[in-house]
Amino acid sequence: MTAVLSFGLVAGLLTLVPGLDTALVLRSSISKSRRVAFATALGINTGALIWGAAAAVGVSALLAASELAYRVLTLAGAAYMVWLGASLLWKSLRKTNKPATQANEAAALISGKNELFKGWLTGTGTNLLNPKVGVFYIATIPQFIPAGASPLLMGVLLAGVHCLLAMVWFTLLIFGTGYAARWLKGARSVRFIDSITGTVLVGFGLKLALEPAH
């Protein structure tokens, strides 16, 4: 319990620091829907759980020890983030107002499940392809595993604590932005939000690709 509480304090402080995860959840909440935002948040936490388990069994240690492995994952993550950001920027330039019709509404209902899956996949992929998340876990989780405890179970437990704290924070963000969404869902506002989020993603991806190897 002491290890869990201690790690929870560190993870809680990390959760409150604005970053790429926060930007993705806010963008989904404002320009998509509350359900898509929660799907994105669940995807982010899925990635965190996988990283936590990997750190506990030593897979993430490869990133900390192997410059090549770290660099390959870094470039893959950077390419993914630049592609995702560029897609949002292109979408913000092309988006036009479409009149609400029964056909549009039917199509929206059909694509609803796809939107949820894409939101989850975006959150998961962004987290898994960010090697800094793996390095964070390999640098912290082993320090909080008590002697005699199962590394895998303890790693998943600690990652679960981080996910729980993150989900609480994301929930506050989603419901908070939900009240402002009615003013932010206009075509111009959505284009602005997509352009800002796209710029953040592209900038983060380029920074990730250009930074020197650890």
- Asked whether residue 199 is assigned to any structural domain, the reply reads yes
> Is 197 strand, coil or helix?
helix
Closest CA relative to residue 77, chosen from 214, 212, 206, 167? 206
- Asked whether residue 9 is assigned to any structural domain, the reply reads no
- Asked whether residue 23 is assigned to any structural domain, the reply reads yes
- Asked whether residue 12 is assigned to any structural domain, the reply reads no
- Asked whether residue 5 is assigned to any structural domain, the reply reads no
**Per-residue confidence (pLDDT) for residue 54, from 0 to 100:** 80
- Rounded CA gap, 72 and 212, in Å? 13
* CA dist list (Å): 204 to 52, 80, 107, 133: 22, 11, 33, 14
182 φ, ψ (degrees, to nearest 5): -60, -30
> Is 130 strand, coil or helix?
coil
What b-and-e string marks burial along 105-133, b requiring 16 or more CB atoms within 10 Å of the CB? Answer: eeeeeeeeeebbebbbebbbbbbbbbbbb
Number of compact structural domains in the chain: 1
Q: Is the dihedral of CA 197, 198, 203, 208 positive or negative?
A: positive
**Per-residue confidence (pLDDT) for residue 17, from 0 to 100:** 67
- Asked whether residue 74 is assigned to any structural domain, the reply reads yes
**Per-residue confidence (pLDDT) for residue 102, from 0 to 100:** 40
Q: Express each pLDDT in 96-119 by its tens digit.
A: 544 444 434 444 444 567 888 989
Q: What domain range includes position 161?
A: 18-210
**Per-residue confidence (pLDDT) for residue 106, from 0 to 100:** 40
Is the Cβ–Cβ distance between 31 and 190 less than 8 Å? yes
Q: Whole-prediction pTM value?
A: 0.66
Burial environment of residue 186 by CB neighbours within 10 A (0 to 12, 13 to 18, 19 or more)? exposed
Q: For the chain, give the number of residues.
A: 214
- Asked whether residue 53 is assigned to any structural domain, the reply reads yes
Residue spans of the chain under pLDDT 50: 97-110
- Asked whether residue 8 is assigned to any structural domain, the reply reads no
**Per-residue confidence (pLDDT) for residue 178, from 0 to 100:** 66
**Per-residue confidence (pLDDT) for residue 128, from 0 to 100:** 85
